[in-house]
Amino acid sequence: MSYAEKDILKVLFTQKEIEARVAQMGAQITRDYQGKNLVLVGILRGAYIFMADLTRHIDLPCQVDFMSASSYGKGTTSSGQVRIIKDLSEPVDGKDLLLVEDILDSGNTLYYLRDMLSARKPASISICTLLDKPERRKKDIKADYYGFQIPDAFVVGYGLDYAEGYRNLPYIGIVKPEVYGG
């Protein structure tokens, strides 16, 4: 038994299911961004695995940059207060931004980032998320690309964490509530 198996209630998506869906998303993004000045903006830390895999499936010239923003801290629900921990390294005016996130939950972080980045005059801003949890949405925001819709459950793996653990799992699983006190 792996270190995390005892803490996982149920596997939602296997490594093979994730790999197949990410490849499909990369192909769609390739079609949609032909002839554009694409910049993938990974939202750290949760999106790093998804973004790496997605980038390899995008058959276009593109740039990569990262931001780190948080509204969770060590909790399992958003506090609603977004803080920028790391900003972009390069200017984005006139570029087509694709914000790459692990999960669209309350929408607080992506709503804040989209508005903040709009002021920097990009040509466009779209949102790409591996997981979409619409039941928890507090802001009017939708993903332009998403991998899977999920139920209102606390999930980890494939970059998603609980208290910085479980990110390295090759699958996405629901955590047993007794693990996080839920």
- Domain 15-152: assigned CATH number: 3.40.50.2020
Q: What's this model's pTM, rounded to 2 decimal places?
A: 0.91
The pLDDT, as a whole number, for residue 180 is: 86
The pLDDT, as a whole number, for residue 72 is: 55
Of 45-54, 71-80, 107-116, 153-162, the range with the lowest mean pLDDT is: 71-80
What b/e readout covers 36-73, taking b as 16+ CB neighbours within 10 angstroms?
ebbbbbbbbbbbbbbbebbbebbeeebeebbbebbbbe
Of 26-35, 53-62, 173-182, the range with the lowest mean pLDDT is: 173-182
The pLDDT, as a whole number, for residue 78 is: 52
Taking residues 128-156, report their average pLDDT: 96
The pLDDT, as a whole number, for residue 71 is: 67
Decide if 53 is catalytic: no
- How many angstroms separate the CA atoms of 90 and 100, rounded? 16
The pLDDT, as a whole number, for residue 82 is: 85
The answer to whether 67 and 113 have CB atoms below 8 angstroms apart is yes
* pLDDT for 73 beyond 60: no
- How many angstroms separate the CA atoms of 137 and 131, rounded? 13
* pLDDT for 115 beyond 90: yes
The pLDDT, as a whole number, for residue 4 is: 76
Residue 179 in tokens: 């693990």
Longest CA pairwise span in the chain (Å): 50
The pLDDT, as a whole number, for residue 39 is: 98
The 10 Å Cβ neighbour count of residue 32 is 15
- How many angstroms separate the CA atoms of 117 and 132, rounded? 21
**pLDDT top residue among 25 and 9:** 25
Which segments of 52-182 are extended strands (E)? 63-70, 83-86, 96-104, 124-132, 145-149, 155-156, 172-175
The domain segmentation of the chain, as residue ranges, is 15-152
Confidence of residue 26 (pLDDT cuts 50, 70, 90): very high
* pLDDT for 80 beyond 70: no
- How many angstroms separate the CA atoms of 144 and 129, rounded? 8
Helix (H) or strand (E) holding 13: strand 8-13
- How many angstroms separate the CA atoms of 82 and 77, rounded? 13
Q: Which of 105, 115, 140, 161 does the annotation list as catalytic?
A: 105
